[in-house]
Amino acid sequence: MRFLHTSDWHLGRRFHGEDLIDRQRKILEHICATARTEQVDALLIAGDIYDRAIPSLDAARLFNWALHELADLGIPTIMISGNHDSAHRLGIGSGLYAKAGVHLRTDPDDASRPVLLDDAHGPVAVYGVPYLHPTLVSEQMQVETPSHQAVLTAALDAIRTDLATRPDGTRAIVLAHAFITGADSSDSERDISVGGVAHAGAAVFDGIHYTALGHLHRPQAVSDRIHYSGSPLAYSFSETGHTKSLALVDLAADGTPTVTHQDIPADLHLPLARLTGRLEDLLADPAHAPLADAWLHVTLTDPARPYEAMSRLRQRFAHTLDMKHEPATIPAQATDTPTYRDRVRGRSDLDITHDFITTVRGTAPTDDEQALLQEAVDHMNLHAQQKETV
């Protein structure tokens, strides 16, 4: 049985102010065309359909168009909600969609209810695990300690319980939206850490023949049976030069998956590029002429920040979308007083609060204080998630 695995469409997302709706429509057209030409038996979409819990009207219209295109494929589509989606909103109408062959899984209670498929070698059970925010779903899933590891373990235990009731030899596929240990992230994925831990171990998927993951935007294999398809478009400059692809999965009679990544055509990519150097050099160097229409991230290395640098860059490079100033030679005194951005770059909210207490008071937080700080950070993350899902 052959599957097409994709994820992280992020319909409605903008790229540094640039509207991506038309490009996203072309990507969806390519996905549907690939499903036809590759004669796949089912389509797997592993979450983050929308970019926001309350999508724009253009994004909702594009999703409505996509639903019709998916139904017209004449093959089953299995789709889950991701951490960017509002599960409740996305799930509205799911019962009707299923009658057209589009199966949405947005409720944790439905994770162990498979879409059942058959081929010459027997049944295949496809389970969809929507994004599980530990604090929001722990009570529903009867988990005592809210963590990504715990809620995913509970979901997969329920799936294995259901699978045990299926005929011998039933092959199992799971869709999930999560950060699995050992995978590489980029700048464009929203932080999903709770309790300081964003990851779950790959062992939660033991016994599953293929796991179709979403959330991370770089296509990659966690193991031979666990794969991220990656996003079909780049959504940050950190993805400049990344290969974007769709995953074709051939499931053998014994459940062994063979995964091949089909690259997205170059003409569908965002025209991203990076430039680094002094402003005058960037404006004058003829070697940069091919980048006149590229979407640029520019790093200026001038000793002092040039006057009106962005407007001057845009006179030559009209789509300069992002710029930062990093002097090639940092004055000696600057190394003794790093900027706030430098001090917090790459650090978690909890680490920053610990450092604040230590700096102000002169001693590190006690164990009890660390527990209170952790509770406050978790509460902040939960409040932000609830605002998006309301």
The mean pLDDT value for 6-14 works out to 97
Q: What is the pLDDT of residue 59?
A: 97
Lowest mean pLDDT among 267-276, 321-330, 378-387: 378-387
Section 271-275 average pLDDT:
96
18-34 pLDDT per residue, tens: 999 999 999 999 999 99
More confident residue, 368 or 249: 249
The DSSP 8-state label assigned to residue 108 in this structure reads G
What per-residue confidence (pLDDT) applies to 363? 67
Sorted by where each starts, the structural domains of the chain and their CATH numbers stand as 2-268 (3.60.21.10), 272-329 (no CATH), 340-389 (no CATH)
Q: DSSP string of 246-312?
A: EEEEEEPTTS-EEEEEEEPPGGGS--EEEEEE-HHHHHH-GGGGGGTTSEEEEEE--SSPPTTHHHH
Window from 246-250, 316-320, 359-363 with minimum mean pLDDT: 359-363
Residue 335: CB atoms within 10 A of its CB come to: 8
Q: pLDDT for 332-388, tens place per residue?
A: 444 556 666 677 676 788 888 887 877 655 568 887 888 888 888 778 877 766 665
Separation CA 252–CA 171 (nearest Å)? 9
Evaluate if residue 267 carries a pLDDT over 60.
yes
The arithmetic mean of pLDDT across residues 160-173, rounded, is 96
Q: How far is CA 34 from CA 4, 41, 116, 118, 180, in A?
A: 8, 12, 23, 21, 27
- Report the chain's mean pLDDT, rounded to a whole number: 90
Rounded alpha-carbon distances, angstroms, from residue 60 to 9, 163, 268: 13, 35, 21
- Nearest alpha-carbon partner for 65 in 35, 19, 99, 22: 22
β-bridge partners, 125: 116, 172
277 in the Ramachandran plot: left (φ > 0), alpha (ψ -120 to 50) or beta? left
pLDDT top residue among 334 and 222: 222
pLDDT of res. 365: 83
Average pLDDT estimate for 210-217: 96
Strand, helix or coil for residue 362: coil
pLDDT at 336: 57
Which range has the worst mean pLDDT, 6-20, 236-250, 358-372?
A: 358-372
Q: What pLDDT sits at residue 351?
A: 81
pLDDT of residue 247: 97
pLDDT of 196 reads 43
Distance CA 82, CA 63 (A): 15
pLDDT of residue 382: 76
Residue 321 has pLDDT above 70, yes or no: yes
In whole angstroms, what is the distance from residue 379 CA to residue 371 CA? 12
User: Which of 103-107, 146-150, 165-169, 347-351 comes out lowest in average pLDDT?
Assistant: 347-351
pTM comes to 0.80
Model pLDDT, residue 1? 96
Q: What would the two tokens of residue 126 be?
A: 């496809």
